[in-house]
């Protein structure tokens, strides 16, 4: 689709585009707007993407706009996530990056700059409108890893080093500028807020159903592991809430990405087109203040496989910790005082099960190839079938095709085995 200036766009969207155009030096009345779909099937679940071209004479700016879904069910589910992403891009990330900039790090030192440029973000709850406008990283040859396949070591290594620098910003700032950092402490988990607005306990029913599905990936005679998960089955929501409790993580809580899986990470590659050289973290809709290990176990147990973890799990943790240590030192902090290895190990033992809790929810989606994904609107609307006897059925379509089911069985059972082997559950 295309449009002349501001005519075919929703009111909140056209106003946002007008503001971006003005700030970027385009001339009122002379530029034109054209748009097209901004994503492929499977790229995102919480919002719709529109690619917009702002053109004036021989100048062009290409931006990517994330909007609330038009589907009413998904809009109601997603509005609070847009509130969080708006806060992340407009308040929290600028605060942390300003702190880093003030340190005037030497040019040769690595820094955290692994977020897309955000031109505009605003969410209005009263009118149920939201828009986030960013640079389109694909124009710089960034691309996603195919979510249906486990990532290799090089991709995981680059992410671990990046998360180390992200978390180091919080450790340094909360120690050196506690008053300025105070607003970060209010950045509580958005998922628990959504759960509080779930009177029908839809999420709780879904979590129990997904736990039963995870148990079924184990051998019938594997009574030990099955028993471990059965004790979790009706406690999944409470366990998630316990893991994201920032107070329980103190004094080690940090600002984390919160939704750290392969669809929310984009890579730029070296000349061989195989080795990732740069990385950007996108989709900050679940970012929160909490234990640093949430980002680690979320990614490692959902986006790598059992084989890679068998020889590289500890290596990945070491890469993360070394990166955090070095960046914290460069920012004027001290990892031995602020987050010693012993505390890191304790946080993993205390909160590591979060990787499994999240896997039970998103592994079916991860294992479903994009060409087999169900329609998101229908899948979300038909999630729970209410029965008169109160025993509602959960119909989660993801991961049910033959190809996806085979992948899911292997990845999920491997995740469970590793969680128990490591003593996380």
pLDDT tens for each residue of 130-156 = 999 999 999 999 999 999 899 999 999
Highest mean pLDDT among 8-17, 120-129, 264-273, 345-354: 345-354
CA distance 178 to 196: 30
In the block, tokens 């929160």 appear at 288
3-state secondary structure the chain: CECCCCCCCCHHHHHHHHHHHHHCCCCCCCCEEEEEECCCCCCCCCCEEEEEEEEECCEEEEEEEEECCCCHHHHHHHHHHHHHHHHHHHHHHHHHHHHHHHCCCCCCCCCCCCCCCEEEEEEECCCCEEEEEEECHHHHCCEECCCCCCCCHHHHHHHHHHHHHHHHHHHHHHHHCHHHHHHHHCCCCHHHHHHHCCCCCHHHHHHHHHHHHHHCCCCCCCHHHHHHHHCCHHHHHHHHHHHCCHHHHCCCCEEECCCCCHHHEEEEECCCCCCEEEEEECCCCCCEEECCHHHHHHHHHHHCCHHHHHHHHHHHHHHHHHHHHHHHHHCCCCHHHHCCHHHHHHHHHHHCCHHHHHHHHHHHHHCCCHHHCCCHHHHHHCCEECCCCCCCEECCCCCCCHHHHHHHHHHHHHHHHHHHHCCCC
3-state secondary structure 101-120: HHCCCCCCCCCCCCCCCEEE
Pairing of the two strands 143-144 and 265-269: antiparallel
Average pLDDT over residues 109-135: 94
Does position 289 have pLDDT exceeding 60, yes or no? yes
Choose between 381 and 186: higher pLDDT.
186
The pLDDT value given to residue 201: 80
Q: CA angle, 359 as apex, 357 and 363 as ends, to 5°?
A: 150
What pTM, to 2 d.p., does this model score? 0.91
Highest mean pLDDT among 3-12, 249-258, 375-384: 249-258
Percent of the chain with pLDDT over 90: 73
Answer yes or no: are the C-beta atoms of 63 and 76 closer than 8 Å. no
User: pLDDT value at position 2?
Assistant: 39
Residue the block writes with tokens 């729970």 = 384
Is the model's pLDDT at 65 over the cut of 80? Answer: yes
Residue 125, beta-bridge partner list = none
For 202, counting Cβ atoms within 10 Å of its Cβ (0-12 exposed, 13-18 middle, 19+ buried), the class is middle
pLDDT category of residue 75 using cuts at 50, 70 and 90: confident
- Indicate the average pLDDT of the chain: 90
Residues 314-333: pLDDT tens digits?
999 999 999 999 999 999 99
- pLDDT on residue 42: 47
Do 5 and 31 meet the contact criterion of CB atoms below 8 Å apart? yes
Whether residue 57 has pLDDT greater than 80: yes
Confirm if 366 and 303 have CB atoms less than 8 A apart. Answer: yes
Quote the pLDDT of residue 5: 44
Tokens standing for 162? Answer: 């990046």
Q: Tell me the Cα Rg of the chain.
A: 22
pLDDT category at 53 given cuts 50, 70, 90 is very high
Greater model confidence, 287 or 400: 287
Q: What does the pLDDT average to over 401-420?
A: 94
- The pLDDT of residue 1: 34
User: Which pLDDT score is estimated for 383?
Assistant: 55
């Amino acid at each position: 689709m295309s449009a002349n200036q501001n005519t075919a766009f929703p009111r909140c969207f056209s106003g946002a585009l007008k503001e971006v155009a003005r700030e970027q030096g385009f001339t009122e009345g002379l530029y034109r707007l054209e748009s097209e779909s901004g994503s492929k099937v499977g790229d995102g679940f919480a919002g719709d993407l529109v690619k917009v071209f702002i053109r004036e004479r021989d100048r062009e700016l290409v931006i990517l706009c994330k909007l609330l879904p038009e589907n009413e069910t998904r809009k109601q589910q997603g509005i609070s996530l847009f509130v969080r992403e708006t806060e992340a891009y407009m308040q929290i990330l600028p605060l942390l990056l300003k702190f880093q900039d003030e340190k005037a790090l030497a040019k040769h030192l690595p820094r955290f700059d692994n977020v897309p440029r955000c031109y505009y973000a605003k969410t209005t709850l009263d009118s149920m409108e939201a828009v986030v406008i960013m640079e389109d990283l694909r124009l710089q040859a960034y691309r996603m890893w195919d979510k249906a396949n486990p990532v290799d070591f090089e991709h995981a290594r680059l992410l671990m080093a990046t998360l180390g620098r992200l978390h180091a910003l919080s450790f340094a700032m909360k120690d050196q500028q506690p008053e300025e950092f105070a607003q970060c402490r209010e950045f509580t988990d958005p998922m628990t807020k959504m759960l509080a607005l779930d009177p029908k306990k839809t999420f709780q029913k879904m979590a129990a159903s997904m736990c039963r599905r995870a148990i079924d990936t184990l051998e019938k005679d594997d009574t030990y592991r099955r028993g471990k998960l059965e004790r979790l089955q009706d406690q999944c929501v409470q366990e998630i809430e316990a893991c994201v409790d920032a107070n329980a993580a103190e004094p080690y809580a940090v600002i984390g990405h919160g939704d750290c899986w392969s669809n929310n990470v984009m890579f730029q590659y070296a000349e061989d087109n195989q080795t990732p050289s740069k990385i950007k973290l996108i989709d900050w809709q679940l970012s929160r203040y909490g234990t640093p290990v949430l980002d680690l176990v979320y990614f490692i147990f959902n986006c790598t496989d059992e084989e890679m973890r068998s020889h590289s799990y500890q290596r990945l943790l070491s890469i993360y910790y070394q990166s955090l240590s070095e960046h914290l030192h460069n920012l004027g902090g001290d990892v031995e005082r602020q987050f010693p290895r012993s505390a890191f190990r304790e946080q993993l033992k205390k909160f590591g099960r979060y990787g499994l809790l999240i896997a039970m929810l998103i592994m079916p989606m991860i294992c479903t190839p994009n060409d087999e994904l169900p329609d998101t609107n229908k899948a979300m609307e038909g999630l729970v079938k209410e029965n008169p006897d109160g025993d509602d059925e959960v119909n989660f379509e993801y991961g049910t095709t033959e190809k996806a089911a085979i992948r899911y069985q292997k990845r999920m059972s491997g995740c469970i085995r590793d969680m128990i082997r490591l003593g996380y559950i």
